[in-house]
Structure 1
Amino acid sequence: METDEEYNGLGAAHVPAQQTGSEMNAVEKIELASEGEAVHFFKTVKDRLLDVNRWTEIAGGAMSDFFLTDEHGNLVQRKATGGDHIRIDIPGPGTQTGGGYDWVTIEEIKLEVLYDTEVLSMTARPSANPLTASEDTAHFLTKAATSTFQVKRIGNTIYAEEHGRNEVPNTDTEHTLDNIRNTFVGWGAKVGFSYPQWKALVKGLLNHDHPYPSA
C-alpha cells in the first residue's frame, strides 16, 4: 500500500487526520501528452468519481455493489451530492441494522482549483440506515471512520486516490450477529482485503481507454 509521502500535497487538507484504528491509501496516476489533453480528460475522471452507481463497472467488477440514494434512502440515478447516502452490498451476509446492506453518508464534496492544478474530493462516513428510525451505525466500521475519494490534476498528470482513516470495526450495535459479522469484515479490511477493490476503482477512474463515459 502507498505511504503518506506518495500523496501529501494537493488536497491533503481534505483528508481527515488519522487518530485511531487503521488507515489505508490507494493511489494511481496517469500522465498525458499535454496539459490540454489532461484538462479535457479530467472532466471525464470527475464525472466518473461522482457517478457512484457505476463504480463497480468502472472498477471492472472487482468490488462490492454501490447504489446512490438521497438523504432518505431512495435510489437515485444522478451524480452524487453532499448529504446523499451510498448503499453498499458487500459479498456475504449483510446486517440486520442496515437491512442487509452497509450505509455511508457523503459528508462533503469539495472542488479546489489553483493555477494549473485541480482537485475534487468526496468524503464519506458510516451512517445509520436512512430507511429506519434506528440511530445505530449500519456499517462494519464505526462513525469515526472516513473514506475520502480524490481525483487531482497537476499539469498534465492526473491522480485518483482513496484514503481510509480511523477504521475501527463496529462491534457495539444492538444485534449480536451484526457485531460478529462486523468484527470479521472489519478485521478483513484492516489486514488489507478492501485494498484491492479501492485500487481497482482508482485505476478504473483513470482508464483512458474505458468507453464510459465519453469525454
Structure 2
Amino acid sequence: MKHPDHLVPDNIKGAKTDTISTESFSSTQLARNHYLEARQRLLSISRWHEYAGLASADFSLTDNLGKEKKDFVTEGDRFKIDIPAPGTESGAGFDWVEVEKVEEGRNDEEDWEYTLIRVRPADNPQSDDNNTAHFFSDEANSYFIVKRVGNDVSAEVHGRNEQPNTETDKIQDKIRNAIVAVGAILGVSKAQWKSLTHGIVKI
C-alpha cells in the first residue's frame, strides 16, 4: 500500500495542477477526528459547491446512467459539472467525468490514512452521443484526496495529463473546450480547487 504522499503519478503529457490545503492539530486523536469529518465531505460530491462557495462550479453525483444520487460516491458513478462558463452540446450543458477509483488506506504503525477519488473525462450517459463531454481529453485524470499524516490533515486536488478536448466532432464544443481548457491550464481553475480543498479541510 502506498504512503499517502505518493498516491498521484507523474505527469506524462500536457499540463498538471496540484492544490493542497492543510490543517494541523495538537494531538493525533484530534487530527483523526477531523480526518473523518473531512472524509465525509470529500465523499459527499453533491455538497462540494456548498463547501467551496457560491462562485465555484456545481458538482452533482450521478450513477452510471446519469441519474442523480444523494449518497456517497462509488466506483462507476459520474460527476455532472456545471462550471461558470458555457457548457458542452455533447454534455447537454455540463461537463462529465467517470469515477474510476474510490480507495482508502491506513497504516497505524506509520500513523497515516487516506481516502482517494480518481476521475476521468467521460461521455454524457444520458445521450447516445459518444463524444467526451468535458473540456479536457479523456487522457486526463483528476485525483481528489483527504489524508492524515500524524497530526496534519490535508485535502488535495491533483490534475494530470490535462490537454484540451478537441477530438469531438461538434465544432462548437471543439472551440469551447479549447478556450475553457487553456483558461484552466493557465490557472483559472486553481482558485476553484483552492476553494474546494479549503472548504473540505477547514475546521
Other-structure match for 1:182: 177
Are residues 1:207 and 2:202 paired?
yes
1: distance between equivalents of 2:20 and 2:121? 22
Are residues 1:124 and 2:119 paired?
yes
Please provide the CA RMSD for this pair.
1.2
* Residue of structure 1 aligned with 2:83, choices 90, 115, 118: 90
Counting matched residue pairs gives: 200
Are residues 1:72 and 2:81 paired?
no
Does the residue aligned with 1:118 lie in a helix, a strand or coil?
A: strand
TM-score by structure 1 length?
Answer: 0.90
Are residues 1:34 and 2:27 paired?
yes
2: distance between equivalents of 1:31 and 1:14? 21
Contact kept, 8 Å, 2:135 with 2:164, in 1: the verdict is: yes
- Structure 2: where are the runs of 5+ without partners? none
Deviation at 1:39, TM superposition (A): 0.9
| Superimposed CA distance per residue, residues 36-79 of structure 1 (whole angstroms, 9 cap, x where no aligned partner) | 11111111100000100010111122311100000100011111
Within a 5 Å distance, the mapping from 1:54-203 to structure 2 comes to 54-115=47-108, 116-203=111-198
2: distance between equivalents of 1:164 and 1:61? 22
Contact kept, 8 Å, 2:81 with 2:96, in 1: the verdict is: yes
TM-score by structure 2 length?
Answer: 0.95
Amino acid of the structure 1 residue aligned with 2:137: T
- Structure 1: where are the runs of 5+ without partners? 1-8, 209-215
Deviation at 1:12, TM superposition (A): 4.5
1: distance between equivalents of 2:9 and 2:127? 28
Contact kept, 8 Å, 2:62 with 2:79, in 1: the verdict is: yes
Deviation at 1:13, TM superposition (A): 4.3
| Superimposed CA distance per residue, residues 4-30 of structure 1 (whole angstroms, 9 cap, x where no aligned partner) | xxxxx8324432331110000001111
Other-structure match for 1:53: 46
Does the residue aligned with 2:188 lie in a helix, a strand or coil?
A: coil
